[in-house]
A and B are shown apart, each in its own frame.
Chain A
Amino acid sequence: MMPSTDTAGVAHLMPTGDGDLDRFERLVRERSPFTFVRFSDGEIEILRNRKLVIAGGVTEFRGKRFSNQFPEFDQKRFDPRLGQDVRGDLLASAIFCDGGYFKGVPTRHNNALGDREFMLRLNGGFTPQMTFSDLFLNSNFLRARASFFPFLAASFEDLLVVGNWRCELKGYLGKGRLVQISDDFFSTYRQTLDSVQAALLDAPESALILSSASSLSNVLGHQLRISRPDLTFLDIGTVLNDLMGLPLGTRAYHKLIDPRTLRERFAAWRYRQHREYQLQW
């Protein structure tokens, strides 16, 4: 890593996958609460006010339609004519800045330099709180699962998990309490947000919240950072699907989990050779 000083006189580093996971671990050890929200390509589409549909085996994305194999609980629909409330909250989440508020954004390895710079502009320019939307994925996926999340769960007395109503918490997540959300929360956005927020506002002091709730995680992370800065909040996406009783195999990085057959090992090897595997700012 190459240390430097930005013009405001605050030392910062070029983000790296390992470095930013180390930093989160340090914050946990120091008992310093923080928030991590992720703006992936779906959130970028909503921010940019473009129609987004992932439903019924069809994806509409950047004006194109193609088929998908996402499960029912991964469905979402954003229609710019109807969804300005969720978009407004997502914009507020993207614009908000705070020392303990970390934002993951698409970067070079996602072939998304335009989106990276767009998110930096919404942030008011680069700050040390900007990191990868794939921080727990790709080349960081196995480390995040093997050591980061177990360490995290063990470091907090109280754990709440925000996830689909189908979830069943297992393993080290088993000690947590599930806060349920419905399928495709976009259609009941305000209602869902209010009920989840009410549950989280009652969370025990200094609790850990792991959220797997699509774009709702970004909104919750932002609003809790303001109203409950004692909480540590992380948007985990689909990283711990198996520990939430949800199927694996819905994302490319799931191939890295315990490949057994020759075919699975080859698929995992191929995935690791892909240009987009290694996190790059």
Chain B
Amino acid sequence: MPRDELTLVLSGHLCRPQSADLRPFWRGFIELQRKLPTSRKVGQIVVHSWNPELAGLARSVYAPQAERHETQQCFYPEFVHRIDPPDRFELGLDRLNSTWKNVSLQSVLGNARSRAKAVQLMDELPEQAGQVLVTRWDLGQTGSAQVNQLVADAAMPASHLYLSYFSEVDEGYADMWLLAPWAIARRFSDFDTFVLDALAGENAYLKEFSESGWPRARKKTRYENALSHPVGQRVHALASRLIGAIRSRALGSTLPERVLRRLTNPLQRFLERPPLTAENSCVTALEAAPRTFPPFMALNIHALLKYFILSEGLRERTRFLTHEDFDLTAQSGQLINPTPVVLLVHDADDAAMASLLAESPLPLAAIYQMDAGNVRQHVSDGQGGWGVTALRAAGSAPRDLMACALDAEQRREAGALPVLVMPTVERYLGCTDWFYMNALAKYLAWSRTGYVGLASSRAGKPHLDFPGLQLVRGGGAFSLRMAAGTAEGMRAFLDVADPDLNEVSDRADRMLLEFPVVVKDGGLF
């Protein structure tokens, strides 16, 4: 792996306990692809999960070089005699009515241990250098946008530790992701031991957090406290939207518009004031008013991460970023372990084929070019070359060409790869979201779903296995002109289809048959 490549370290639950919803996992994968810097390729991946039953999914999506999937044990024996008093993290807590209601020693330690175990797996990698992104399977899916949005900028010096910045940074550091040089990331291999020791009072964590004063933390004003509250945040968002709407109607140079802008300026400035924190801002008299927190709040992965970084002497190398700091749209996005797909194109001449081979972001294992009553099979030799074979179809109708192509594909790969059916090459290359498409191809390959519609104007019931998929009845939900699935799944429909592929779609719609369909704003293709 070249030294300017990135190592990805993933940990946690692939699927939350007591849940069958796999969408956070897939959304995390899509989000990660979107936010990774284009110019810093992911060269190595290590993963740890608490879902051994989903190891195959993790493997097919990420293809990690080192992995461990295990059932999370009950950690009670490790801490039941070490926490003193035993109700330390319950005192003063109205658990049912608090945002702390789901926090437990088991969950905090489970999070820390999975991260530590994933980091330990870095030792199994061939290249022990470069920048490391340590994150969770569900990147971007929990918590506020302030803390869950990855900010990865290839132009930033790779020598520092980068973390999310947010208004509560004085209390603790967001742990959704961290970007660090190899040696710093490697220090998280003992993070779980540190967490347990801290919670058991074997270092000054509990004392400083709740008694003597938390380092680098300032007391908030009443206004700031109100703004931290969910109600305050809603009021702030509403006021910001209101002022934004007023100002957007006063962009011109007429006197009333200028007066309106001038009148709303102070209010806008007030609403846009960045949070003032001891971690970042120039604040005075901190020692005169040390900040402490209730004991139950010490069971807090953010505060534990902060104490870990301070204890390890890493604060000077730490830089906090927000997702609004940089405009990285043009420099972000890379496909992780892109899945080869098989493409059937209803109408493609040789010029279109040339542009397809040159421009397809997804690797193409085989292409079936259906044009002027012929089918030509293009198969990659894996070294940049293509072997072309003319296939003999039973007839020249669209159904015959498609059946011929799908039969050939089943003989070639026995339906192992996801198949995409597209009307034209232009339509395929016009995909609006390749990160989603790569995830969808992986989902199809893993789930062996026979058919997924790619265009529907109607919404249906949400599909729990994959984001953006809905179960739609009728109304164009089924089409053999533009679809995805397995060769076998789509071939089955052709036995009952009319030559022009119209009637079968029409009947499926009129019978209100239910099909999984991609429903995305603006469409996928």
- Give the B-binding residues of A (Cβ under 8 A): 2, 4-7, 12, 14-15, 47-50, 80-81, 84, 87-88, 91-92, 95, 97, 111, 113-114, 117-118, 120-122, 124-126, 130, 281
- The reply to whether B280 and A125 form a contact with Cβ atoms under 8 Å apart is yes
Chain A hits for B215, CB < 8 A: 7
Closest to A87 in B: B155
**Binding-face segment, B9-17, B20-28, B327-335:** B327-335
Contacting pair A120 B281 (CB below 8 A)? yes
Contact of B285 among A4, A15, A48 (CB under 8 A): A4
**Shortest Cβ distance from B287 into A: residue:** A5
Asked if A49 meets B316 with Cβ closer than 8 Å, knowing A2-B284, A7-B278, the reply is: no
- Are the C-beta atoms of B319 and A121 separated by less than 8 Å? yes
- Is B326 engaged at the interface, CB distance under 8 Å to the other chain? yes
Binds A, one of B239-247, B266-274, B389-397, B400-408: B266-274
Asked if B321 is at the interface of the complex by the 8 Å CB criterion, the answer is yes
From B153, B157, B273, B286, A5 is in contact (CB under 8 Å) with B286
The residues in B between 326 and 384 inclusive whose CB is less than 8 angstroms from any CB of A are 326-328, 330-331
* Extra A-B contacts (14), CB below 8 Å, given A49-B153, A125-B281: A7-B215, A14-B282, A47-B326, A80-B331, A84-B154, A91-B156, A92-B157, A95-B156, A95-B157, A117-B275, A121-B319, A121-B322, A124-B316, A126-B281
Give CA–CA (A88, B4) in the complex, Å.
Answer: 14
Contact residues in B for A122 (Cβ distance below 8 Å): 319
**Of A7, A14, A84, A87, which is within 8 A of B286 by CB?**
A7
8 closest A-B pairs by beta carbon, nearest first, are A4-B284, A88-B155, A126-B282, A117-B274, A7-B216, A49-B327, A125-B280, A121-B320
CB closest chain-B residue, reference A15: B282
CA distance A121 to B279 in the complex (A): 9
State A130–B280 Cα separation when bound (angstroms). Answer: 12
Distance of A273 from chain B, by nearest CB (Å): 16
Q: How far is the CB of B386 from chain A (nearest CB, A)?
A: 32
- Tell me the residues in window 155-214 of chain B with beta carbons closer than 8 Å to chain A beta carbons: 155-157, 160, 165
State whether A113 touches B273 (Cβ < 8 A).
yes
Taking a contact as CB atoms under 8 Å apart, the answer to whether A111 and B269 are in contact is yes
Closest to A85 in B: B155
The answer to whether A97 and B316 touch across the interface, beta carbons within 8 angstroms, is yes
A1 CB to nearest chain B CB (Å): 10
Whole-angstrom CA separation of A87 from B317 in the bound complex: 20
CB contacts (< 8 Å) of A126 on chain B: these are 280-283
Number of interface residues of B (CB under 8 A): 39
25 A-B contact pairs sorted by A residue (CB < 8 Å): A6-B286, A7-B215, A12-B282, A14-B284, A48-B325, A48-B326, A81-B330, A88-B155, A91-B153, A91-B156, A95-B160, A111-B269, A113-B272, A114-B274, A117-B274, A121-B319, A121-B320, A121-B321, A122-B319, A124-B315, A124-B318, A125-B279, A125-B280, A126-B281, A281-B282
Closest-CB distance, A81 to chain B (whole angstroms): 6
Complex formed: what's the CA distance from A80 to B278 in Å? Answer: 33
| Complex Cα gap A263–B280 (Å) | 44
Distance in Å from the Cβ of B15 to the closest Cβ of chain A?
35
Residues of chain B lying within 8 A (CB to CB) of residue A114 = 272, 274
Known: A49-B331, A95-B160, A122-B319. A117 touches B272 (CB 8 A): no
Closest residue of B by beta carbon distance from A281 = B282
Q: Which residue of A lies closest to B288 (CB)?
A: A4
- Return the chain B residue nearest A9 by Cβ: B287
Name the CB-closest residue of B to A115. B274
Q: Smallest CB–CB gap between A44 and chain B, Å?
A: 10
Closest residue of A by beta carbon distance from B214: A7
User: Are B327 and A48 within 8 A (Cβ)?
Assistant: yes
A2 to B153, CA, bound (A): 37
- Is there contact, CB below 8 Å, between A80 and B327? yes
Partner of A91, one of B157, B280, B283, B315: B157
* B280 in contact with A117 (CB, 8 Å): yes
Residue of A nearest to B316 (CB): A124
Closest-CB distance, B485 to chain A (whole angstroms): 38
B290-326, CB < 8 A from A: 315-322, 325-326
Q: Complex Cα distance A113/B276, Å?
A: 10
Contacts of B322 in A (CB 8 A): 121
Interface centre among B273, B282, B287, B327 (most CB of A within 10 A): B282
- Quick one: closest B residue to A12, CB to CB? B282
Q: How far is the CA of A87 from the CA of B157 in the complex (A)?
A: 11
A179 CA / B441 CA spacing, docked (Å):
58
Docked pose: A84 CA to B316 CA in angstroms? 25
CB of B275, distance to nearest CB on chain A (Å): 8
Residues of A within 8 A of B156 (CB): 88, 91, 95
Inter-chain contact A4/B286, CB cutoff 8 Å:
yes
Residues of B131-157 at the interface with A, using a CB-CB cut-off of 8 Å, are 153-157
Q: Considering the chains assembled together, what is the distance between the CA atoms of A81 and B269 in angstroms?
A: 31
Give the CA-CA distance A6 to B216 in the complex, in Å. Answer: 8
Across the interface, name the chain A residue whose C-beta is closest to B156. A91
Chain A residues in 8 Å Cβ range of B319: 95, 121-122, 124
Q: Which residues of A contact B284 (CB under 8 A)?
A: 2, 4, 14
Cβ–Cβ < 8 Å partners of A2 in chain B: 284-285
Chain B residues near A49 (CB, 8 Å)? 153, 155, 326-328, 331
Docked CA distance A4–B281 (Å): 13
Q: How far is the CB of A79 from chain B (nearest CB, A)?
A: 10
Q: For window 38-71 of chain B, which residues contact chain A by CB distance below 8 Å? A: 39
For residue B170, which residue of chain A has the nearest CB? Answer: A7
Closest Cβ of chain A to B160, distance in Å, is 6
B153, B154, B278, B280: the one within 8 Å of A121 (CB): B280
Distance in angstroms from A279 CB to nearest chain B CB is 14
* Contact partners of B153 in chain A: CB under 8 A: 49, 91
Residues of A within 8 A of B287 (CB): 5
Chain A residues within an 8 Å CB radius of B279: 125
B321 neighbours in A (Cβ, 8 Å): 121
User: How far apart are the CA atoms of A49 and B154 in the complex, in Å?
Assistant: 12
- CA of A50 to CA of B330 in the docked complex: distance in angstroms? 10
Report the bound CA distance from A5 to B285 in whole Å. Answer: 7
Q: How far is the CA of A95 from the CA of B330 in the complex (A)?
A: 23
Within the assembled complex, what's the spacing in Å between the Cα atoms of A118 and B151? 14
